[in-house]
Structure 1
């Protein structure tokens, strides 16, 4: 299924309104799922935007998309994760171990 169709189905089902959320990135995974990243058009600022990440199951035979997980976050949340999670990960020549 085309990534544009995935976004359209999520909008038509009322899962994610394109009036409120702007699509930033869509990634289809080999296991039949998709990651969709949105940015809120109305809430947040240029310095600290509000994002929505949707993890969805793509059902090709039914031409359907089912939301498995959704997380709303701000840029400051990512900075917090980077500060507390990634210092504990050792990096050797660009690869996390």
Structure 2
């Protein structure tokens, strides 16, 4: 299915308001799913935006898209996750607005 069709279907179904969320990236996976990344148009600032990630099942036969998972997050949330899930990975300086926190 065309990526613009995926975005349109999610909008028409009321899953994501394009008045609130701007599409940043979409990645179609080989298993019939898609990862879609949005940025909030109203909440957050340019240096500290709010994102929405949707993991969806793309059903070509029915021309439908079904949301499997949805997560709203900020940049610091991802940095925190990387620090604690992958503690040996070095964080690139300048990505975080806050100093690194200690591990558990």
TM range (shorter): 0.7 to 0.9
Q: Which structure's residues are more often strand, by fraction?
A: 1
How far apart are residue 88 of structure 1 and its match?
4.3
What value does the CA root-mean-square deviation take over the aligned residues?
Answer: 1.0
Q: Which contiguous aligned blocks of 4+ residues in structure 1 show a shift greater than 3 angstroms?
A: none
Give the secondary-structure state (helix, strand or coil) at the position aligned to 2:8: helix
Q: Which residue of 1 aligns with 2:66?
A: 66
Q: Which residue of 2 aligns with 1:4?
A: 4
Count of aligned pairs = 89
Runs of 5+ consecutive residues of structure 1 not aligned to the other structure: 90-97
Runs of 5+ consecutive residues of structure 2 not aligned to the other structure: 90-104
TM-score by length of 2: 0.82
Could you report, residue by residue, the CA deviation over 1:38-67 in whole angstroms, capped at 9, with x for unpaired residues? 000000111111000000000000000000
TM-score by length of 1: 0.88
